[in-house]
Structure 1
């Protein structure tokens, strides 16, 4: 397929692509997180434990999400990324709707695995497309705008899921959020043009690179090793806490499904969207003077978020708990955009989808895979001592893990300038060699 007109020809079109891919990511998270707001209803209906809930909303999804992400990202680095995204949406939306037909834990588990397989094809090719529509100096904001889809999805998913669950049940809620995704898949397939790879980096003569070469490149970047782990630890805290917030509000503050959906829609949805965009904005603004700001921006809030999460768990007032949740979500979401942007800056265009997949493999395996499961196991273990309050103690304990992420980000920032200099030299030499071979 012949590449489309360079994206720089139309500022408005590249913004359209960014908005549509952000909408795709929003649906990704609506379908991923809808089970969270429905968890108490499903638990009561099927007699599940907190450990089983943690498995359904975490490890069962994450294991297949991260394992399928690698081969799909490899495909995205050598073929049409738009078509991969459209197919992925079709799979995960269909599997979300099928989840509503599950009659037992095993069927729920299999349906969630299907959602995870589909969603593996969403972000890596989207990241790669965005990097071919936006130059490096704007990439932090573009990636943060895209990453706002996480919280737009949470906003819609919690609000709509809570409302439908309250009046029609959890099965109808899953049908309602799954089916519209099929329409979004058609929009992607027929309105997004596949961009020229490397156009924004002055390197369109791109040679294909192997998975082994990509892994070798990433492993040689000391900063990547540290900040990818930092992202995983940050996600461990955010998923571990976030996936059990509906259950916490119901058990500790007596909320019903509609109150949970509305409250978390406004706190985590809006707070997360603000924090995600601000992360990219601040990184791009200060990173022009010192590239280390791309990692300092995620590091600084970690020290503040930990006590805020603890206050949220133990304040007796529901409105104060929601205020703390809003603050913690906003500060805790600053990391995502800068982390993706700096990853793409450190690797050549031919490796970007795969680099995103490796980053998300680490982030989601540690974060989504282990975070909710750890909180669920801890809550079950503490139940004999603390009863219904076991969940708040489990969540409070997990919040301290965020301090590890801060230390890892600071270590990564120390190595970043040297890694970036080495990467830029290698990419410049590669362009020179390719130009000479074509001459």
Structure 2
């Protein structure tokens, strides 16, 4: 099928493949810039003498606050203006901020860089969701989003390997320089190559010059669809546990198994890439296939995966064999990630074309604030608390940066390392319990979803 774009060009199959390919690379650098900080967190903590709470803030609220606040305004712009331009500019902003992180010499410098990364990345989710909704039919959207979101495991693997290599061979700062510069190149290519699609043609809607529904109309439509509210709430809740794990998994591996940064980065990168790929593919293609028989399967699939995942995480965080832990982490992560692509697809399918960017941004805002913002911050705080409880004495005074003071004896050094490892292990065990609540929200959404789907010609609650 071919679709006409707003400027009159034809979006033929080749153009569709180019779009998916380039959006994959944008997604890759989106997550590479996050992963490189995660794998270098222990090295940065030691060099700059940070606490786990400060690491959590850098990976959480510093990144998430403006990300979540800017997502909706950018989405409203995307309903009216060129989404391609927004995508290119945002990619350039977060890449420049990543490059800036390489020059940081303090917590405050890193916080500024991480805020910049969040500002740029706020534009990715609403714009890519909106363009996918206009380019592809309803029963293809989860699958296409799954293909684009394969940039997530590829990006995490890229960020992990680049970060681990440069931290051990040269200096951790070079990893930020290289990824930031490469992202700037991708931003330029997106701006030159991708064309803006017409809004609504994949649903059979004629091009419209009328303004999109205003934000109060979006909120009214949101309130009229109980399944949509439950899906956004479920995905945001799942994001709390998922982001907590992803941002501290490399730290957990380094501490628990006494790994050097490069080895921990390799385990983190390949483990994350494996479960992200498996989970995204099962969640996108599997639920799209099953939805042909019953349209509730995307919600059911998410609920099932989120119910199974915690049990494998509990096992993975409490075994003492790295290879068994890796297998368990891959199974757990695969079950967890089933929810992600169907969530994007369901949000698109429940909203009319000129509300989709706003719907994706609403999900991204809550997912980021609850997941990326509160999750890592919560884990960092709980980890510090648990380490303090496990340590015989004043942990923060005796173990700045999680390691013993210079000149301390071997037993003191071992006590610091053991308390740090126990702290992060116990914090992660707490975090995964949130998946049960997320599973319940998706199950409740499945009971209403068939009544709420958007169909061309169906009466919608909007006001223009």
- From 217, 222, 225, the counterpart of 1:218: 222
Whole-angstrom distance in 2 between the partners of 1:384 and 1:55: 19
- From 4, 25, 31, the counterpart of 2:7: 4
Counterpart mapping for 1:90-169 below 5 A:
90-169=92-171
Whole-angstrom distance in 2 between the partners of 1:245 and 1:146: 24
Whole-angstrom distance in 1 between the partners of 2:235 and 2:441: 9
Segments ≥4 residues shifted beyond 6 Å:
none
Does 1:428 pair with 2:461?
no
Confirm or deny: 8 A CA contact 1:6 1:199 kept in the other structure.
no
Structure 1 range deviating more: 39-48 or 159-168: 159-168
- From 440, 443, 452, the counterpart of 1:419: 452
Counterpart mapping for 1:62-73 below 5 A:
62-73=64-75
Mark the CA change 1:25 to 1:325 in structure 2 (over 3 Å): closer, same or farther: same
- From 390, 399, 403, the counterpart of 2:423: 390
Deviation at 1:4, TM superposition (A): 3.5
Give 2:248's aligned residue. 244
Gaps of 5+ in 1: 435-439
Confirm or deny: 8 A CA contact 1:91 1:118 kept in the other structure.
yes
Confirm or deny: 8 A CA contact 1:99 1:174 kept in the other structure.
yes
Does 1:372 pair with 2:376?
yes
Deviation at 1:5, TM superposition (A): 4.2
Give 1:35's aligned residue. 37
How many corresponding residue pairs?
A: 428
Gaps of 5+ in 2: 391-418
Confirm or deny: 8 A CA contact 2:63 2:117 kept in the other structure.
yes
Deviation at 1:429, TM superposition (A): 4.5
Q: For residue 445 of structure 2, give the secondary structure of its aligned residue in structure 1.
A: helix
Whole-angstrom distance in 2 between the partners of 1:78 and 1:292: 32
Whole-angstrom distance in 2 between the partners of 1:65 and 1:219: 24
Q: TM-score scaled to structure 2, two decimals?
A: 0.89
Provide Cα deviations, 1:93-147, integer angstroms capped at 9, x if missing partner: 0010001111111111111111111111112111111111111111110111122
Whole-angstrom distance in 1 between the partners of 2:279 and 2:437: 20
Q: For residue 447 of structure 2, give the secondary structure of its aligned residue in structure 1.
A: helix
Deviation at 1:288, TM superposition (A): 1.4
Confirm or deny: 8 A CA contact 2:28 2:151 kept in the other structure.
yes
Whole-angstrom distance in 2 between the partners of 1:323 and 1:188: 37
Confirm or deny: 8 A CA contact 1:58 1:370 kept in the other structure.
yes
Does 1:277 pair with 2:308?
no
* Structure number with higher helix proportion: 1
Counterpart mapping for 1:166-185 below 5 A:
166-185=168-187
Whole-angstrom distance in 2 between the partners of 1:111 and 1:400: 31
What is the aligned-residue RMSD (CA, Å)? Answer: 1.7
Q: For residue 244 of structure 2, give the secondary structure of its aligned residue in structure 1.
A: helix
Q: For residue 60 of structure 2, give the secondary structure of its aligned residue in structure 1.
A: helix
Deviation at 1:52, TM superposition (A): 0.5
Give 2:394's aligned residue. none
Whole-angstrom distance in 1 between the partners of 2:8 and 2:272: 39
Whole-angstrom distance in 1 between the partners of 2:80 and 2:176: 34
Whole-angstrom distance in 2 between the partners of 1:344 and 1:86: 22
Whole-angstrom distance in 2 between the partners of 1:191 and 1:383: 51
Structure exhibiting the larger radius of gyration computed from Cα positions:
2
Q: For residue 193 of structure 1, give the secondary structure of its aligned residue in structure 2.
A: coil
Provide Cα deviations, 1:298-339, integer angstroms capped at 9, x if missing partner: 110122211111111110111111111111111111111110
Structure 1 range deviating more: 186-195 or 322-331: 322-331
Whole-angstrom distance in 2 between the partners of 1:5 and 1:348: 23
Q: For residue 235 of structure 2, give the secondary structure of its aligned residue in structure 1.
A: helix
Confirm or deny: 8 A CA contact 1:93 1:179 kept in the other structure.
yes
Deviation at 1:33, TM superposition (A): 2.6
Deviation at 1:25, TM superposition (A): 1.0
Does 1:325 pair with 2:329?
yes
Q: TM-score scaled to structure 1, two decimals?
A: 0.94
Does 1:261 pair with 2:265?
yes
Whole-angstrom distance in 1 between the partners of 2:206 and 2:174: 48
Whole-angstrom distance in 2 between the partners of 1:275 and 1:5: 38
